[in-house]
Amino acid sequence: MQETTSVPLDAETKVIERPGDHESELRLWLRLLTCATLIEGEVRRRLRQEFNVTLPRFDLMAQLDKAPGGMTLGELSRRMMVSNGNVTGLSERLVALGLLDRRQSRSDRRAQIVSLTAEGRRVFRAMARAHEGWIAEIFSGLAPADVETLMRPLAKAKTSARAAVAGAQPR
């Protein structure tokens, strides 16, 4: 009996091998997921390697860069779609590094508002410039016309997904 070794395949490749087993929507989902997973993994690796920062910390700082007056931890939690506990832990570490300020809300004594420090803004913007370059590099195999062509149907897919999620939410 001959033993064969198999190379692990990604989900999209498995679907291609048995296309009759899946609908086109599932193949689309798997292709989008594969692309997103590959890109996210590379961005995580580069953030860690070049800036010694995690993607969640980068994401939190990105939200705060858009809100110079700061945000409550609850607002950050909703925008980042993570638990309050996750945001609290991330912000505590960034405060300890001197990248965030934390203060009590004037309108709600129970709420804390966090904002980027001047150093936090400088550090984040350096990371953001690098991040933009990485994304451009990752998509460099696509012509500008291809990028534009992909944007329209992906916008429709995003709208469709949001509607499905909203329709599935208990009222």
Q: What tens-digit pLDDT sequence spans the chain (171 residues)?
A: 444 455 555 656 655 666 555 578 888 899 999 999 999 999 999 999 999 999 999 999 999 999 989 999 999 999 999 988 899 999 999 999 999 999 988 888 888 899 999 999 999 999 999 999 999 999 999 999 999 999 999 999 999 999 988 887 665
Provide the pLDDT for residue 167: 85
Output phi, psi for 54, to 5 deg.
-90, 160
Residue 90: C-alpha distances to residues 37, 56, 143 (Å): 22, 8, 37
Our count of domains for the chain comes to 1
On whether residue 6 sits in a domain, the answer given is no
What interhelical angle do 55-65 and 24-51 show, nearest 10? 90
Is residue 169 domain-resident?
A: no
Domain range for 93: 53-163
In a domain, 27, yes or no: no
- Look at the block and give the residue holding tokens 């989900």: 11
